[in-house]
Amino acid sequence: MSKIAVWHGLWLGFLSCFCFPGCMTFDSSPVPPNGNPDPLLEEILKQETLVKKPDSATLKPDVIFREVPIRTPLAEARAIMERHGFSCWSGVADSKGTCLHCSAYKPKKQGLADKIVVKLFYETQRIVNAEITVQYDVRRPDRGIWPFSNHKADAESN
């Protein structure tokens, strides 16, 4: 076997073991067992709307700044958001800078939810700004990988 074939085999093995399973998983922010979303989600959804579109809205970030004040270290901001049920990724590039991208879902019915996206912009590992966007009526990620894999969850949400 040639060296190139060996490297291709190793690379393919790496991708299948490490990358593919990560691509197959959905956002892991669970709905608490009692079915009630975190109080922070409720507060976020009550914020004043800055920009309204048919399928989304940009909200005022005041409630986020009460939880994650300006100049909060990045690791602490992430821990705070994840405690509230958000799934976060740092180092996400945005037109406004690098951000900690956090998302959570407020369940509705029939497999739909409102997706709350909080972008915490940072410089030198400290929060400098925030943006909140709500996307309405998105497909809930807790239904599994395949579209019809979790009929029981759909029946319970109706």
> Is 70 inside any structural domain?
yes
> Is 16 inside any structural domain?
no
Boundaries of domain holding 144 = 27-157
pLDDT of residue 1: 54
> Is 12 inside any structural domain?
no
Q: How many domains does the chain have?
A: 1
> Is 13 inside any structural domain?
no
Local structure of 84: helix, strand or coil: coil
pLDDT of residue 5: 54
Indicate the length of the chain as a whole number: 158
pLDDT tens sequence across 97-112:
999 999 999 888 888 8
> Is 116 inside any structural domain?
yes
Considering only residues 12 and 60, tell me which one the structure prediction assigns the higher pLDDT.
60
Whether the pLDDT of residue 29 is over 80: the answer is no
